[in-house]
Structure 1
Amino acid sequence: MNIVKRAKAPTPKFFKVLRNIGLALAAVGGTILAAPIALPIVVSSIGGYLAVAGGVLSAVSQLTTTQEKSNASR
């Protein structure tokens, strides 16, 4: 299955929840990074890690599909 078919295939409910959590983490991380005030370096680093982790979590969760059953006996 190629990447386009995977992205268009239905996503299981658990991974939809994980995708939404990942999007929220990415949004929080992006907000921290784009803050108009000077933040300590530790807080900025955490914001970067949140943005990356949220993006990866969302991407992996979106590309997860259920396994198709085949009629072939093995």
Structure 2
Amino acid sequence: MNIVKRAKTPLPKFFKVLRNIGLALAAVGGTVLTAPIALPVVISTIGGYLAVAGGVLSVVSQLTSLNDDLDAIQ
């Protein structure tokens, strides 16, 4: 199963929730990074980490699949 097929397969409910949480974290991190006011360095660093963690969580959750083909792994 290639990546495109895997991304299009239905997701388990748990991973749908995780994907949405990851998207929210990425949005919050992106908002903090692009804030029009000067923020302390610590807050900007946390915003960067939130954006990266949210992106990774969303991608990994999206690539899980409900249809596990064990024959395709071999």
Normalised by the length of structure 2, the TM-score is 0.90
Which one has the bigger helix percentage?
A: 2
Kindly provide the amino acid, as one letter, of the partner of residue 47 in structure 1.
G
Identity of aligned residues (%): 80
Structure 2, unpaired ranges of 5+: none
Superposed, 1:16-35 pairs within 5 Å as: 16-35=16-35
Rg (Cα) greater in structure: 1
The Cα shift of 1:68 comes to 3.8
What do the CA deviations read for 1:1-53 (whole angstroms, capped 9, x no partner)? 10010011111000000000000000000000000000000000000000000
Name segments (4+ residues, structure 1) moved above 4 Å.
none
Separation in 2 of the partners of 1:69 and 1:37?
51
Structure 1, unpaired ranges of 5+: none
**1:11 — aligned with what?**
11
Separation in 1 of the partners of 2:12 and 2:70?
15
What is the alpha-carbon root mean square deviation over aligned residues? 1.3
Residues matched between the structures, number: 70
Normalised by the length of structure 1, the TM-score is 0.90
